[in-house]
Amino acid sequence: MPSLADVRDWTNRIGDLGYTAVRTNALTAGVGRQMESAGYVVLQDLVLLEHTTPRNIRSHEASAAAPRTTHSLDSNQLTAASAVDLAAFGTQWGLSATAIADACKATPRYRLRGIGEPLAGYAVSGRDGSQGFLQRLSVAPDHQRRGLGRALVVDSLVWMARWRVQRVLVNTALDNDAALSLYQGLGFRRVGDHLRVYERALP
DSSP 147: S
Higher pLDDT, 68 or 17: 17
Q: Is the peptide bond before 118 cis (omega within 30 degrees of 0)?
A: yes
Q: Where are the domains of the chain?
A: 53-165
Whether domain 53-165 has CATH 3.40.630.30: the reply is yes
Q: What is the DSSP letter of 2?
A: -
Q: Do residues 50 and 169 touch, judged by C-beta distance below 8 A? A: yes
**Mind listing the pLDDT tens digit for each residue in 71-110?**
999 999 999 999 999 999 999 999 999 999 999 999 999 9
pLDDT of residue 95: 97
* Amino acid 67: pLDDT: 58
Q: 46-75, pLDDT tens digit by residue?
A: 999 999 999 888 654 655 555 578 999 999
DSSP 63-111: HHHTTS-EEE--GGGHHHHHHHHHHHHHHHHPPPHHHHHHHHTTSSEEE
Mean pLDDT for 127-143 is 97
pTM exceeds 0.95: no
Q: Report the C-alpha gap between 180 and 177 in whole angstroms.
A: 5
Nearest Cα to Cα of residue 152 among 185, 189, 114, 180: 114
pLDDT averaged over every residue in the chain: 93
Q: What DSSP string describes 171-199? A: EEETT-HHHHHHHHHTT-EE-SSPEEEEE
